Amino acid sequence: MPLPDSGVLAVLGDLVEDVVVWLRGPLRVGTDNPATVHRTRGGSAANVARFAASLVPTRFIGRVGADPLGHGLVDQLRAAGVDVHVQRGGRTGSIVVLVHEDGERTMLPDRGASADLGPVAEDWLTGVSLLHVPSYAFATETSESNALALMRVAARGGRRVSIDASSTGLLLDYGPARFLDLVAEARPSVLFANSAEAELLGLADRPPPNGTVCVIKGGAEPTVVILADGERLRVPVPVRVHPRDSTGAGDAFAAGYLAAVAQGSQVPAAVTAGHRLAARVLDAPGANFSLEVS
């Protein structure tokens, strides 16, 4: 069923600058490495909002620094059609993304102001029918407590919530068992994870309770969906050879999936929509559609 009311998709979390470094060979520690450097918008939540904005009404909720970088990133999101609601204070964060020749990436995050998300006004959810939260929002106690508070407000108002597991490093720091407890409390309609995150959480053996649908992405391998009744679906990924940069592909997948659900698609069609949108970012530096950055 389509989302009720206005069908606004809200995304809560980080908006930062990505410094994307395309390596031209294997990384050599302790010396120079030829590379091409790109600066672009980043932050998993901001990426999802940007990718979804061309498909459904979308709002971004987060915190940026009270600095020129933060103002510029907000302007970029607004120019892409995102309804931006941000707190301001401190210093805008940055992430150095090392992209290897096979398209895989290594990230060095400094989340800056995003880590200090304060209490979010309830009226920032006005008109929202689904709230999506990448797990980076749980990386600090301050951000976690305020993110969870907003998720509870969303649930009390009859809005659906989705969560992305986001990062094995984050999950290890947070604690896999503790994260599963959070998911059980939040009762999201959907939990996104890649295969490594799903393995760490044991989702293949014991998906979260309370009717949560688990969507497990496998890169070029089929996406596995575990439905609320335990049924498993395998949805093939279109053939793709040698992606140059996988940064943001998971965010684009989430955006395509959630936008399709908002428009009334069933799960297999939503997964296909996620695959289709993710494929559009694999040739661009960072989390951008291929034609956005040369």
251 is catalytic: yes
CA distance 245 to 82: 24
Question: Catalytic: which of 32, 102, 251, 283?
Answer: 251
Report which of 248, 280, 252, 277 is spatially closest to residue 43, judged by C-alpha positions.
248
The H-or-E segment that residue 146 falls in is: helix 141-156
5, 81 contact by CB (below 8 A): no
Q: Within the chain, how many helices (H) and strands (E) appear?
A: 8, 13
Helix, strand, coil shares of the chain, percent, nearest 5, are 35, 30, 35
Beta strands in the chain (DSSP E): 8-13, 16-23, 35-42, 58-64, 83-88, 92-99, 105-112, 128-134, 160-164, 190-194, 213-218, 221-226, 232-235
Nearest to 197 by CA among 225, 217, 211, 213: 217
Residues with catalytic function: 251
